[in-house]
């Protein structure tokens, strides 16, 4: 019942702000024009369309605001007037009353702000869809930012997610590509990440992890600045962190005036993104301009500053290796390898013809090589790949939805910073170096070191385990049966076992070399 009421509310708000005009007015047909007049009761919206769309999304709640934030970075896909208005959703959502923020801090930390902090700014410095931020000063003199969760968010989000789940079920049952697109799994991923955003302790832990990943002892010092968490003033609904000073990445004129090298900044952004994805498998997945600043301090001028860690993505080793090989194959224009990777991963049916898939991928990607970012739209590329995937029954991978969203955000920011940035040439050397470190001799040595602890515990126990099994009562028939089964398996998988033996031989040789070195 609540889901149905929420649906009617969405329809009502859409009509109230004249959003029907954005759809029906594009049809030059008398029936559409007449329907538009009936819906509006003969009236015409007075405010600009971008303003109406932004206000409607703000009224509808956090999920719709998130959608607007992502859309605001795609100026190549939406009109400029709409993009400018939607950009206000990044950090200028109307704040909730400061008295409610103070009450939330008191309930979470056990004391009002005026006692917890030496100074607390009542007016928020930024307000977003999930929370708002107040600046403060600790009693030890440290400047901090205090993030406070909006009251009542859980109920609103649950209502919208219930509606999305209903729509996903309908699409899965009635849509021609319903099963392949996995809409329910995609919504489930979205559900998980949104609920994670409501737990500011989880966000603080994400912040802490990302700070460690780019700490000075990692060799990445100077790439990305991440605030330090103040754990004693952090709870589920309150997150206190080091205050960071910088310029929003969208304010390019201010960045130039501060002496920031914009072209270098654009290249660094690409490297930071690929480092997070492929080296760590842990990446900031909400990288709209409201969450990314650039330091304007003399000692750290031009360094990126990451904020808002409510949504992060993670990739398994399989995902990282698969994606890296795909990217490298694309960079080398090896479309046959791209087709092979899709078939080997099981993302397309096993009976897919390699040469057909290769030709389809080539038709999508080849026109975009050797062109500056200003002439390339990843949104258009993804749309064409989506059409190709439908033809070949490619299964959508829900765990990569966040990565796709982040890629679009990165492209939007990169386009604003340096339209002439060659995305392919910038990323290719990094990926080649990363693949060499993982797949080459150095990577094999690192894996052996990592697994040495486990083997050191297991190997001494093998003689005792074999002796115990041989002396166990009634063990002989069991062992005989096991040997028979093992022999059959060896006969059926002879080639596989030979390959494994070769790999083990190489591993032993490398291990001996590492020990004696």
Which is more confident, 131 or 374?
131
User: What percent of the chain is predicted at pLDDT more than 70?
Assistant: 69
Name the DSSP letter for residue 251.
-
pLDDT-wise least confident of 22-36, 112-126, 142-156, 233-247: 22-36
pLDDT per residue over 330-389, tens digit each? 778 898 988 888 888 777 787 888 899 899 888 888 887 766 656 766 656 666 666 676
Write 410-414 long-range contacts (CB < 8 A, 24+): 410/269, 410/270, 410/273, 410/287, 411/73, 411/373, 411/377, 411/378, 411/379, 412/73, 412/74, 412/75, 413/73, 413/249, 413/250, 413/269, 413/287, 413/289, 413/292, 414/266, 414/269, 414/270, 414/373
Give pLDDT, residue 144.
98
- What residues does 241 pair with on adjacent strands? 145, 229
Which is more confident, 377 or 160?
160
Cβ count near 516 (within 10 Å): 6
Listing DSSP states for 184-250 in one string gives HHHHHHHHHHHHHHT-HHHHHHHHHHHHHHTSGGGT-TTSEE-PPB-GGG--SSEEEEE---EEETT
pLDDT-wise least confident of 44-53, 255-264, 417-426, 464-473: 464-473
Six token digits for residue 178: 């319903």
253 classed as catalytic: no
pLDDT per residue over 61-78, tens digit each? 777 787 777 667 656 557
Give pLDDT, residue 3.
63
Does 167 have pLDDT greater than 70? Answer: yes
Give pLDDT, residue 515.
42
Which is more confident, 14 or 503?
14
Greatest C-alpha distance within the chain: 93
Does 123 have pLDDT greater than 90? Answer: yes
**Mean model confidence pLDDT for the chain:** 77
Closest of 161, 148, 234, 237 to residue 192, by C-alpha = 161
Which is more confident, 125 or 367?
125
Six token digits for residue 35: 């329907």
**Whether the Cβ atoms of residue 305 and residue 225 lie closer than 8 Å to each other:** yes
Closest of 204, 226, 88, 198 to residue 146, by C-alpha = 204
Cβ-proximal residues to 514 (8 Å cutoff; 6+ apart), any chain? 445, 448, 449
Q: Domain locations in the chain?
A: 2-90, 153-194, 261-439, 442-516
Give pLDDT, residue 40.
55
Give pLDDT, residue 509.
44
Name the DSSP letter for residue 78.
S
Which is more confident, 141 or 163?
141
Give pLDDT, residue 93.
72
pLDDT per residue over 399-445, tens digit each? 666 777 787 777 778 778 888 877 667 777 877 777 777 666 665 66
Which is more confident, 182 or 166?
166
- What residues does 295 pair with on adjacent strands? 246
Q: Compute the distance between CA of residue 355 and CA of residue 134 in angstroms, rounded to an integer.
A: 58
Question: Model-level pTM?
Answer: 0.71
Q: Which of 286, 296, 308, 319 is labelled catalytic?
A: 286
Give pLDDT, residue 129.
77
| HEC-encoded secondary structure of 273-297 | HHHHHHHHCEEECCCCHHHEEEECC
Query: At which residue do the structure tokens 């654009």 appear?
Result: 266
């Amino acid at each position: 019942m609540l889901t149905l009421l929420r649906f009617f509310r969405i329809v009502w708000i859409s009509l109230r702000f004249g959003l029907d005009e954005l759809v029906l007015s594009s049809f030059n047909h008398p029936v559409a024009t007449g329907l538009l007049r009936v819906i509006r009761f003969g009236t015409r919206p007075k405010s600009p369309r971008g303003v109406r769309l932004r206000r409607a999304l703000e009224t509808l709640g956090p999920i719709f605001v998130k959608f607007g934030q992502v859309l605001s970075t795609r100026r190549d896909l939406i009109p400029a007037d709409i993009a400018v208005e939607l950009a206000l959703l990044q950090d200028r959502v109307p704040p909730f009353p400061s008295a409610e923020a103070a009450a939330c801090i008191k309930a979470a930390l056990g004391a009002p702000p005026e006692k917890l902090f030496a100074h607390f700014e009542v007016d928020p410095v930024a307000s977003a869809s999930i929370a708002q931020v107040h600046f403060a000063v600790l009693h030890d003199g440290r400047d901090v930012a205090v993030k406070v969760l909006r009251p009542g968010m859980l109920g609103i989000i649950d209502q919208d997610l219930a509606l999305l789940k209903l729509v996903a079920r309908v699409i899965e049952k009635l849509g021609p590509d319903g099963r392949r697109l996995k809409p329910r799994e995609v919504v489930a991923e979205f559900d998980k990440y949104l609920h994670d955003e409501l737990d500011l302790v989880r966000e603080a832990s994400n912040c802490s992890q990302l700070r460690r990943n780019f700490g000075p002892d990692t060799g990445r010092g100077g790439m990305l600045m991440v605030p330090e968490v103040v754990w004693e003033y952090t709870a589920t609904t309150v997150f206190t962190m080091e205050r960071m000073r910088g310029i929003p990445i969208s304010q390019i004129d201010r960045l130039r005036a501060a002496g920031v090298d914009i072209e270098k900044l654009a290249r660094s952004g690409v490297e930071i993104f690929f480092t997070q994805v492929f080296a760590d498998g842990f990446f900031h997945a909400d990288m709209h301009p409201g969450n990314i600043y650039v330091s304007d301090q003399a000692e750290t001028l031009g360094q990126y500053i990451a904020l808002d860690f409510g949504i992060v993505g993670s990739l398994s080793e399989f995902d990282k290796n698969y994606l890296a090989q795909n990217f490298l194959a694309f960079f080398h224009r090896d479309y046959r390898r791209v087709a092979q990777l899709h078939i080997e991963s099981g993302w397309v049916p096993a009976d897919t013809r390699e040469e057909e898939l290769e030709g389809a991928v080539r038709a999508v990607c080849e026109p975009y090589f050797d062109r500056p970012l200003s002439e390339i739209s990843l949104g258009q590329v993804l749309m064409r790949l989506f059409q190709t995937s439908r033809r070949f029954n490619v299964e959508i991978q829900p765990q990569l939805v966040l990565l796709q969203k982040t890629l679009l955000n990165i492209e939007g920011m990169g386009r604003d910073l340096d339209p002439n940035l060659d995305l392919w040439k910038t990323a290719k050397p990094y990926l080649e170096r990363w693949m060499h470190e993982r797949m080459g001799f150095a990577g094999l040595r690192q894996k052996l070191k990592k697994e040495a602890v486990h083997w050191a515990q297991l190997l001494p126990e093998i003689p005792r385990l074999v002796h115990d099994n041989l002396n166990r009562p009634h063990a002989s028939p069991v062992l005989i049966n096991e040997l028979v089964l093992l022999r059959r398996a060896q006969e059926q998988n002879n080639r596989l076992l030979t390959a494994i033996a070769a790999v083990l031989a190489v591993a032993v040789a490398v291990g001996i070399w590492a020990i004696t070195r």
